[in-house]
A and B are shown apart, each in its own frame.
Chain A
Amino acid sequence: MKNKLMHLSNETMNVGFVKKVEALSGSSVRRCFQCGKCSAGCPMSTFMEHPPNRIVRLLQLGQGQRVLAGRSIWYCASCETCTTRCPNKVDLAAIMDALRKLSWDADGPSKESYVQLANRLFIENIRTYGRQYELRLGAIFNMKSGQFLKDLMLGPKLISKGKLKMFHSKNRNISDIEGIFKRVEEMRKKGEAL
């Protein structure tokens, strides 16, 4: 970022965005008094440019874009340590989910597309097969992320150990599953759900 200084004014504070985060997560960001306990316990904070407590602070200041522009939200492991320990009951893990959803909806200014790609393939697998098809998940991920050789040595070993199945059958109730995806999309289109 060129200008590291943060200018706070009605123009730079996106309050609408913060309200959306609060609605999606069901958690208030205003409760936070910046004790830092969430970041102290976060196993991923060393990988993040904004540790969890700073994410909340940025949201309090209406700086949603700054949060989305970084990689922090894609390095959260959803371990719930922050939520468990917060003295003010800020549900940071849910806030992280909400932020990822908003980034995903905008097709993400986030740079961490590998994590997004993995999530997308995982969800696609549910829609197509009903259950996870781990071999396909790994293979397509490597293809699409351009890491053709990643874990190449692991693959055959896992197959011979019976840990990766070569073939996969579809769930019998796959049309019910498709129905769920369709109706969720439909509710969003009609503005009935966030």
Chain B
Amino acid sequence: MTPGKKKLSYSYYPGCSLHASGREYDISTRALFKALNVGLKEVPDWFCCGATPAHNVDELLSLSLCAKNLSLAEQVEGDLAVACAACFSRLKTTQHHLKEDATKRKQVEYAIDGPASLNKPVKHILEILAREYGLAKLEESVKKPLMGLKVAAYYGCLLTRPPEVPELDDCEDPSIMEDILRALGAEPVKWSHRMECCGANFTLSRPGVVLKLSNAILESARLAGADCIMVACPLCHGNLDIRQKEIKEAFGAPDSTLFGSIFGSDLPISTTSEDRRDLPIFYITQLAALAMGVASQSLGFESVIIDPKPLLRDKQLL
């Protein structure tokens, strides 16, 4: 810590997925912040932000749920750190809308029976790592550089959208994930599908949609020569990791060009079935913590479906 400079410290909104199917994202976020000596304190009694389903059918309800969470966050000092891309987008969008629209703000304040807190900065952990902690300091803190690891950085839809809201990075050509990867010593690959949608919450109602969209993402990463994919969203992780075996079964036909022409798939140029290797899906915090020398046992690798350990051993990172 530089003298005179306060230790970085944040309030933390994990969101529902990080307490359930995305638990390794939560575990590794806490481990990483501890390793970097950055404070992280969970907002007491936070509840679901409503994610996509709430604004899909009831915007007022969605805004109210987020506004209430923002006012709960006032109990803990420090800017609000959010790891889930969907929660981040919802909380930021709410602040933005309520600042712009006085009528909605009045309605929401009535619904939550109190003032909406619109000035607590909401920050995604990518932003905290790259800008507040800083890329240079991040690079200095690396104990075990991720040498030789080729990573496809996957942004998905919500991290940088809608354009006027998240302020995280350019909404069509962001680079924040690649910058962090380079600081960690890894090698980000150039690939086509880094901002394409994975099918998101259709995983429950329309899994077929998810299989098709996620397959295109996995294929694109393989073609770019990636060893693995890095995500910052528990939904993307679920779709790419949990459903990867199913995707292989559905699209693993020997000639996927033929498959594509029958099903109108937007696959990139076909790869052969032997080449459909499993791609481990990492959370940004798992890779960063690994580079900071955090023991792999405390990063939740046992909770994922596609085992990343063979790859990490192969690259001498375990």
Contact = CB atoms under 8 A, between A and B. Distances in A.
Interface of A: 24, 26, 43-44, 46-47, 75, 77-81, 83-85, 91, 93-94, 97-98, 100-101, 104, 114-119, 122-123, 125-126, 130-132, 134, 137-138, 141, 145, 150-151, 154, 157-158, 161-165, 171-173, 176-177, 179-181, 183-184, 187, 192-194
A177 B53 contact: no
Contact of B61 (A83, A118, A123): A123
B197 A77 contact: yes
A179 B113 contact: yes
A80 B171 CA distance: 10
Interface stretch (B31-39, B139-147, B157-165): B157-165
B61 A78 contact: no
A77 B157 contact: yes
A47 B209 contact: yes
A184 B64 contact: yes
20 contacts: A78-B55, A83-B161, A84-B162, A84-B171, A94-B59, A101-B59, A115-B205, A122-B53, A123-B53, A123-B58, A126-B48, A132-B20, A141-B205, A162-B302, A162-B303, A164-B20, A173-B45, A184-B58, A184-B64, A187-B110
A161 B176 CA distance: 31
B202 A126 contact: no
Residue from A119, A187, A194 whose CB has the most chain B CB atoms within 10 Å: A119
A93 B196 contact: no
B199 A46 contact: no
Given A77-B200, A119-B53, A183 B113 contact: yes
Contact of A104 (B48, B57, B242): B57
Contacts of B19: 131
A187 B111 contact: yes
B305 interface: yes
A156 to B, nearest CB: 13
Query: What are the 6 A-B residue pairs with the smallest beta carbon separation, nearest first?
Result: A79-B157, A132-B16, A80-B161, A122-B53, A119-B53, A118-B205
B204 interface: yes
A67 to B, nearest CB: 16
B303 A43 contact: no
A114 B53 CA distance: 12
A163 B21 contact: yes
B112 interface: yes
B68 A141 contact: no
Given A46-B264, A187-B107, 15 more contacts: A46-B266, A77-B200, A84-B162, A84-B163, A114-B206, A118-B201, A131-B16, A132-B51, A134-B20, A141-B204, A151-B207, A172-B45, A176-B68, A177-B47, A193-B60
Contact of B58 (A101, A150, A151, A173): A101
Interface string B189-223: 00000001101111011110100010000000000
Given A78-B52, A118-B201, A184 B60 contact: yes
Interface in B42-74: 45, 47-48, 50-61, 64-65, 68
Contacts of A125: 48
Contacts of A98: 59
Interface in B292-310: 302-305
B205 A79 contact: no
Contact of A119 (B21, B57, B163): B57
Contact of A183 (B52, B53, B111): B111
Contacts of A78: 52, 55-56, 157, 200
Contact of B110 (A85, A162, A181, A183): A183
B101 interface: yes
Contacts of A130: 47-48
B17 interface: yes
Contacts of A154: 242
Contact of B50 (A93, A126, A137): A126
Contacts of A181: 61
Interface string B64-107: 11001000000000000000000000000000000001000001
Contact of A26 (B101, B201, B213): B101
A184 B61 contact: yes
B53 A44 contact: no
Contacts of B274: none
A117 B202 CA distance: 12
B47 A173 contact: yes
B23 interface: yes
B107 A97 contact: no
B139 to A, nearest CB: 31
A157 B163 contact: no
